[in-house]
Amino acid sequence: MLTPPSVPPNVISAVRSRWPERAGEWTRRVETELLELCARYRATPRRVLPARYGFVVAVDTVHGGLVMRSSADPNGPNQSRVAIALADLGVAPTVHEAIDTDISTWMILDEVQPATPLAEANVTDATVESLATTLLAMHGQPAPVPGMPSVHDWLRERLESVQSTDLPPGVDQAPDAVRRAALVVLDDLGGDATSQLCHGDMSPLNVLASGTNEWTLIDPRGMSGEVSYDAAVLGLKIARNGPATLIAVRLAKAAGLDADRTLAWVSVADAARV
């Protein structure tokens, strides 16, 4: 009988911290569920991929590599719907199946190759141009589900929180005055205008090389928003040799986005410590 790989301890700890009411049952069932999916797809687990909150396993099949991903996030169904919408635009892996259970969401996706994350890439002018092409494909597309959670509301909650519990590793919460100023900017941006398709979590670890000057997006947040927000987060995350605002503006202009609006999102995202 095939022995399933184990959920990494850091993932178990993170899930227990984030969703304590679901963590026990999810941890108890997830490895067995993986085996059931491997049997159905005639797949053999190859390795566990790095993840913060999910159990993500690369598997081999006679038709090529797949990735099987389980999340205990209650918002998992919306994440899969955004992933499917992004795949339909050609900027994310094909989603072969999305399975919602009472305790988790599974997605079975094509494996991205060579899968070098943007975090490990040398960001050049050509990189910015190719990233802008990805953003342009998403620009103006509707959210896949009416009334789905909003990036706008999620950011407001982070900015208003007395003590955020979901900060990136090694990052402290912004001072009160900075967060109050960002709330004013967020109000000016307006919640009604942010009900479009967006990735919502443009970490350089979620942007993978899939060919020469091509990028593939993984692990969307599962919220509606707007592509200007994605451009802002990218600007924040990949600005190594200059201000984030410069990268964000270059991305915005190359993708046909409003540069001023993108800069406003930079200030909000920075204060929210996304």
Please list the pLDDT of the chain residue by residue as tens digits (274 residues).
577 799 999 999 999 999 999 999 999 999 999 999 999 999 999 999 999 999 999 999 999 999 999 999 999 999 999 999 999 999 999 999 999 999 999 999 999 988 899 989 888 888 899 999 999 999 999 999 988 999 999 999 999 998 776 888 888 999 999 999 999 999 999 876 678 999 999 999 999 998 766 899 999 999 999 999 999 999 999 886 567 888 899 999 999 999 999 999 999 999 999 9
- The burial class, CB within 10 Å (0-12 / 13-18 / 19+), for 187 is exposed
**Residue 28 carries which side chain, given as an amino acid letter?**
R
Rounded-to-10 torsion of CA 194, 199, 201, 204: -130
Could you tell me if 222 and 75 are in contact, meaning their C-beta atoms sit under 8 angstroms apart?
A: yes
Structure tokens at 149: 């959670």
Query: What confidence score (pLDDT) does residue 1 get?
Result: 58
Q: Which CATH code for domain 118-272?
A: 3.90.1200.10
Please give the model's pTM, rounded to 2 decimal places: 0.94
CA 93 and chain centroid, separation: 13
Q: Which CATH superfamily is domain 9-110 in?
A: Phosphorylase Kinase; domain 1 (3.30.200.20)
Confidence (pLDDT) at 253 = 95
Domain regions of the chain by residue span = 9-110, 118-272
